[in-house]
Chains A and B, each alone.
Chain A
Amino acid sequence: MKQSRPGIVVVGGGHAGVEAALAAARIGVQVTLVSQRRREIARMSCNPSIGGTAKGQLVREIDALGGAMAVTIDATGIQFRRLNTGKGAAVQASRAQADRQAYLTRMLETIEQQPSLRIVEDEAIGITARGGRVRGIALKGGGELDAEAVVLAPGTFLNGLIHIGEETWPAGRMGEGPSTSLPVSLTGLGFRTNRLKTGTPPRLAAHSIDFGTLAVQLGDADPRPFSFSTERIVRRQVPCHVTRTTEATHRILRDNLHRSAMYSGRISGVGPRYCPSVEDKVVRFGERSSHIVFLEPEGYESHEIYPAGLSTSLPRDVQEAFIRSIPGLGSAELTVPGYAVEYDAVDSTQLSHSLETQAIRGLFLAGQINGTSGYEEAAAQGLMAGINAALWLLDREPLVLSRSEAMIGVLIDDLVTRGTGGEPYRMFTSRAETRLHLREDNADLRLTAHAARVGLVSAARLAKVDALERAVEVGREALLSVRTTPNAAARATMERVGLPPPRMPMSAWAVLGLPGARHSQLVAAGLAEVVPSRVAEQLEILAQYERYLVRLADDAQERRAWERVTLPPTLDFHTIAGLSIEVRERLARVRPASVGQAQRIPGVTAAAIEALMTHLRVSRSERFDVDGSTLEAARGA
């Protein structure tokens, strides 16, 4: 990189911004991270935990792609727990309580040590663009920063407004001012925005809680790290506690509903249905007499407890009253009240799959600004935006992950194609057609090659992953070649190792595919060789899921064929015959890059696709770069 080039500016040092800045700098371009406060970089605004269902998958993918979130939580987690361990591999997920302060300190160190990356403590107040290209940003502290590419990741700060009961004041989150100039600049550039909201529970003073009476929830005995490069988790683990709301709690909540910011109608932003406030829960699930509450420590040193399940925007006195009606919290003291925050988000269908805006080249958006919610969702987008901004500067093809290879691919495609539907978007495994494939356990196998190609993962690490892949293939073939016969001796052996006795001749691979079968049992039965545990794990999962994975792969291939039928950027969707005005508008708004993408836009029916295809066929020769064979292959697939 020539030193004279201005490089990339990343606005916002949240979870999206830090990944974007680190990735771009590591790829080798000059990066300036502009954030309002250095000390708040990588702060977790809400619950002090990373991972969980679907989010765990994201963190593993971020790691496989060379991101920082996994290593940082591995180094600062205080309780690690795997969820859904009794269930199939595809829905198991890792979650860790973080030491909030340690996490951000550690992340700041990583940034400070990263060459080609500098921090500027300031507020961006405008985006400079000329000729459809971004040129830089304007700073509140005065002056401009030139940039060839800008990644915007300002989180919940755009026109942020905090609500507690009847009180309201402008803020990005508790204790930090909002960004009010940046949204003006965005609207000026023609971006559509919408208003969202989210909320957080009060924090409690640890010494005021009577833990002795409460159930304890411990972490896993043998915690599993998030990162491929973490050998093992060595930090001491702390317990969480569990309590429940009572009838008395619910009565207080109901009696004071009119004083809640949400119910008094002062909030216009749309909140997430999957994250209702406690007052919401009491209203919507009125038949329940109790709701669960997890008491999570914020760190070894911290004296604060995060009561998960008690998000609220009621006035402070009501918060205190209902908290004290909960067992163990009888004399609890609030250190910070719960609150709701409203903010502006940009309609994410204005982006293309690289997270670059369609309107302004070189401008990338990532994180909560795209209507998502969650640290992991933000980090995943930040990483991809950082990678693609850097690749763009280097004149290289963008890295776009498909829906069938990564949860991140699903996340970004949903944002770009369907939008968030006016509600904060959180990742769920069920959003992925191929979730049986997009698992935590194989994130490295799926994505390390991409990371190596863009230069975020070393060749040595890729070699390790490749070796694992080969070992799995060899192991599978070995199992396929070993056969059991249903004779008395075989039946006795199988019974001894706890496997169902065979009723017909089958391969060892088929035996491993039986519900609950373990590779170690096959080894004990003399049907398999001992292999490293990660290889055994892959073999078990693949054998169990095989029939489904085969079908999913077929479907994915069919979808890819449609993905290859590209639509020219100049296509005027308003001229396509046989489409309703509504469908035309949707298509024109999203501007799908392919027929495959068009199919996923809500409200675009099979008949509409048929009309689109007819239009393509008719005008293919003169106007479209679709070659006939692809089109026919897609149809026949």
Chain B
Amino acid sequence: MELGDENTATPGSDPERATIVALATGPVQAALATIRMSGPRVHEILARVLRRPGSALSLSLEARRATVAHFMDPADGETIDEIVVTFFPGPRSYTGEDLAELSLHGGPWLVAEANRVLTTLGATQARPGEFTRRALLAGKLDLARAEAVQALVTAQSGAAAKLAARHLAGELSERYQRIRHGLVSIAACLEGPLEFPEDTSGEENESAIAALKGLSEVRQCLEGLVRSQAQARRIVSGISIPIVGRPNVGKSSIFNGLLGSSRAIVSPHPGTTRDSIEASMLVGGRLVRLIDTAGLGVAIDDLDAEAMSRAEGHIEDADIVVLVLDLSADLQESDRELLSRLAGRQVVVVLNKTDLEPRFISTDLVELGIAAPPVLVSVKDGSGLPALIDRLTIAVETGAPGDDPLGVVSSARQQGLLVRALGDLGRVAHNIEGDRAELAIEDLRLAELSLREILGEASPDEVLDEVFQTFCIGK
């Protein structure tokens, strides 16, 4: 995390600023828990709570080196835990201030106790994201990276954490910089002839062609990033998998069976599930959002209709659909309808209630256009659920066509700005071809502003710098 900016002032030396503390690892029980503390009083507080193991002596901390220490409550001198502490003096720390990381044995009581001691000594509980905010203010991160940190902290699956880590490493920032620089070069191509009409006469066409070429490259790159939105959502918020089918086919039973808990109400009455129920689980290391939905069929009342339209909404947004058919009942017209609506999507078909007398056979499904073999399940017997999980794992790993693992934009803010930039670029070609370079440049400038906003950067006179390099001008 050290971005090595030796030039940064030590905000740690600013007495007005609060010293903040927070649990850095998640609130779940883990083997180790890390507490982070940042601010002007870090050193002072550490001196009061840390002792050399097996002695009452205070301990000297070497910068950026992990040291074993006893953590004690200065009120009664009791040792709370044996911990590992690392001290990062500002400005060469994540926040630019004095910062310490304390690794405790992860029991919830220990962590709470340590936290209590630190706050009694004057540290304040950090607000969400405050460490990152301080890092941002100290110029340690750009905005896109700061967002990656937030994403990393809240990541719920291995894939989401990996994505956030890549963003933090600056891969996405680099892409943004490339796009931004692309925009600047295009603008410079067009600007030269405007500012120096006499020096560049005869070069205009050449410049316009170069600009159009650069434009199409930049747009492609931007479009890719905007398209990645669905992919990002899948990684960060989870892959959405609704379980759909006619009423009473056993959707809620399967939902519960997959989760291994009785989240949804199961009853022999059709139309039991009304509001959809969501639950997260990991499938093949990836975060999945499983959704139990209301049965689809003929609506009898308004409530039915509303419940069904919600279920249909989930189908719209689905990444993978689990379609449940009841093997003990005849196939119906509504099954056909549903199937035709799912055409072109990733569908896993489940034939439930295999413990009962079957009313149709698998080959009847081929007629309905279902190619992949269905998964045979009996929730009652508990058979077939592991096979269903296997099928879901394969579906999840296959992913969606066109996924680009490197260029995934997960922040809604960044997405919004990218879409705006694309909108501004939409008119550029038209303006270049219509001999309105000044308007094309204006569009480019607006698009570039959006990119700058993503990165949280100001830019100097880059267009002019480029113009001087590209065009030969002078008296």
The yes or no verdict on A and B being binding partners is yes
CB of B446 within 8 A of CB of A551, answer: yes
Structural contact, A435 and B195, CB atoms closer than 8 A: no
Name A313-362 residues within 8 Å CB distance of B. Answer: none
Binds B, one of A62-70, A87-95, A112-120, A622-630: A87-95
Chain A residues with CB under 8 Å of B196's CB are 53, 274
B438 touches which of A275, A436, A582 (Cβ 8 Å): A436
Which residue of B is nearest A611, CB measured? B137
Instruction: Check A602–B458 contact: CB distance below 8 A.
Output: yes
Q: Are A87 and B195 in contact (CB under 8 A)?
A: no
Q: Is the CB of A580 within 8 A of B458?
A: no
In the complex, chain B residues whose CB is within 8 Å of the CB of A607: 136-137, 139, 143, 456
The answer to whether A580 and B197 touch across the interface, beta carbons within 8 angstroms, is no
**What 1/0 flags go to A584-607 for Cβ under 8 Å of B?**
100000000000000110111111
CB-CB under 8 A from B356, the residues of chain A are: none
Chain B residues with CB under 8 Å of A433's CB are 445
Q: Is A311 an interface residue (CB 8 A)?
A: yes
Query: Is there contact, CB below 8 Å, between B464 and A87?
Result: no
Minimum Cβ distance to chain B for residue A148 (Å): 37
The answer, among A429, A582, A606, for a CB contact under 8 Å with B456, is A606
Contact A277/B138 with A428-B464, A584-B9 known, Cβ cut-off 8 Å = no
- Name A294's closest neighbour in chain B (CB-CB): B198
Contact A428 B436 (CB under 8 A): no
A578 with B7, Cβ < 8 A, contacts A284-B472, A285-B472, A436-B438 known: no
List the B side residues contacting A491 at CB < 8 Å: none
A58 to chain B, nearest CB (A): 14
Do A429 and B194 touch across chains, with their CB atoms under 8 A apart? yes
Most chain B CB neighbours (cut-off 10 Å) among A603, A611, A614, A618 = A611
Chain A residues with Cβ below 8 Å from B473 are: 274-276
* Given contact pairs A577-B14, A580-B138, A83 touches B436 in the complex (Cβ within 8 A): no
Tell me if A212 counts as interface (CB < 8 A to partner B): no
A53-B197, A605-B139 in contact; A577/B16 too (CB < 8 A)? yes
Give 1 or 0 for each of A544-578: 1 = CB within 8 Å of chain B CB: 01001001000000000000000000000000011
Contact present for B458 and A604 (CB under 8 Å)? yes
Q: What's the least CB distance linking B175 to chain A, in Å? A: 19
Give chain A nearest CB distance to B465 CB in angstroms: 8
User: Would you call A288 an interface residue if the criterion is a C-beta within 8 Å of the partner chain's C-beta atoms?
Assistant: yes
Question: Does A241 count as interface, using CB distance less than 8 angstroms?
Answer: no
- Chain B residues near A584 (CB, 8 Å)? 9
Known: A281-B474, A584-B9. A430 touches B137 (CB 8 A): no
Q: How far is the CB of A612 from chain B (nearest CB, A)?
A: 10
Q: Report yes or no: A86 in contact with B435, Cβ–Cβ below 8 A.
A: yes
How far does the Cβ of A227 sit from chain B's closest Cβ, in whole Å?
A: 23
User: Is the C-beta of B404 less than 8 angstroms from some C-beta in chain A?
Assistant: no
A582 touching B198 by the CB < 8 A rule?
no
- Is residue B468 within 8 Å, beta carbon to beta carbon, of the partner chain? yes
Chain A residues with Cβ under 8 A from B438's Cβ? 87-88, 90-91, 429, 435-436
- Whether, in the assembled complex, B206 has its beta carbon less than 8 Å from a beta carbon of chain A, the answer is no
Q: Does A292 contact B (CB under 8 A)?
A: yes
User: Does A431 lie at the interface of the complex (its beta carbon under 8 Å from any beta carbon of B)?
Assistant: yes
Closest residue on chain A to residue B194 by CB atoms: A91
Residue of A nearest to B452 (CB): A606
Q: Does A581 count as interface, using CB distance less than 8 angstroms?
A: yes
Residue interface bits B426-447, CB-to-A below 8 A is 1, else 0: 0000000011111101100110
Count, chain B residues at interface, CB 8 A: 46
Q: Contact at B474–A276, with CB atoms within 8 Å?
A: yes
Tell whether A579 pairs with B9 under 8 Å between CB atoms, given A277-B474, A607-B139: yes
In whole angstroms, how far apart are the Cα atoms of A579 and B441 in the complex? 33
- Chain A minimum-CB-distance residue to B136: A607
A428-B195 contact, Cβ under 8 Å, with A47-B475, A285-B472, A309-B474: yes
The answer on a CB contact under 8 Å between B458 and A599 is yes
Q: Does A174 contact B (CB under 8 A)?
A: no
User: Does B17 count as interface, using CB distance less than 8 angstroms?
Assistant: yes
How far is it, in angstroms, between the C-alpha of A435 and the C-alpha of B196 when the chains are bound?
A: 16
Q: Closest approach, in angstroms, between the C-beta of B447 and any C-beta of chain A? A: 13
- CB contacts (< 8 Å) of A578 on chain B: these are 11, 96, 134, 137-138
Q: In this assembly, does A468 line the interface, its C-beta being within 8 Å of a C-beta of chain B? A: no
Contact with A along B131-160 (1 / 0, CB 8 A): 000101111000100000000000000000
Q: SS class of chain B's interface: helix, strand, loop or mixed?
A: loop
Q: Is the CB of A54 closer than 8 A to any CB of chain B?
A: yes
A-chain residues with CB within 8 Å of residue B7 when the two chains form the complex:
580-582
Chain A residues with CB under 8 Å of B474's CB are 274-278, 280-281, 309, 311
Which residue from A91, A581, A605, A618 sits with its C-beta under 8 Å from B8?
A581
For B468, the chain A residues whose CB sits under 8 A away are: 273-274
Q: Could you say which of A53, A84, A90, A274 has the most chain B C-beta atoms within 10 Å of its C-beta?
A: A274
Q: In the complex, A578 Cα to B7 Cα: how many Å?
A: 12
User: What B residues does A430 contact at CB under 8 A?
Assistant: 191, 194-195, 441, 463-464, 467
Nearest chain-B residue to A198 (Cβ)?
B475
Report A489-528 residues with CB < 8 Å from chain B CB: 515-516
Closest to B440 in A: A88
Nearest chain B CB to A551 CB, angstrom units: 7
Q: How far is A308 from B473 in the complex, measured between Cα atoms in Å?
A: 11
Please tell me if A610 contacts chain B, counting CB pairs below 8 Å.
Answer: yes
Residue pair A515, B458 in contact (C-beta under 8 Å):
no
Q: A607-B139, A611-B137 are in contact. Are A577 and B475 (CB under 8 A)?
A: no
CA distance A311 to B199 in the complex (A): 14
Q: How far is the CA of A580 from the CA of B198 in the complex (A)?
A: 44
Query: Smallest CB–CB gap between B54 and chain A, Å?
Result: 40
CB under 8 Å from chain A, chain B span 203-219: none
Residues A87 and B435 in contact in the complex (CB < 8 Å), given A54-B195, A580-B138 = yes
Chain B neighbourhood of A436, CB < 8 A: 438-439, 442
A583 to B456 CA separation, bound complex (whole angstroms):
15
Determine the chain B residues whose CB is within 8 A of the CB of A284 once the complex forms. 472
- B458–A53 touching, CB < 8 Å: no
In the bound complex, how far is the Cα of B192 from the Cα of A274, in angstroms? 11
Q: Which residues of A contact B (CB under 8 A)?
A: 46-47, 53-54, 83-84, 86-88, 90-91, 200-201, 273-278, 280-281, 284-285, 288, 291-292, 294, 308-311, 418, 421, 428-431, 433, 435-436, 515-516, 545, 548, 551, 577-584, 599-600, 602-608, 610-611, 614, 618
Interface residues of B (CB under 8 A from A): 5, 7-9, 11, 14, 16-17, 96, 134, 136-139, 143, 191, 194-199, 201, 434-439, 441-442, 445-446, 456-458, 460-461, 463-464, 467-468, 472-475
Identify 5 new A-B residue pairs, CB closer than 8 A, beyond the known A54-B195, A91-B438.
A87-B437, A91-B437, A309-B474, A551-B446, A607-B136
A and B contact pairs by CB, cutoff 8 A, 6 listed: A276-B474, A311-B475, A429-B194, A431-B461, A551-B446, A605-B457
Please give me the 10 A-B residue pairs with the lowest Cβ-Cβ distance, nearest first: A578-B137, A273-B468, A606-B456, A276-B474, A285-B472, A577-B14, A88-B438, A580-B8, A91-B194, A515-B434
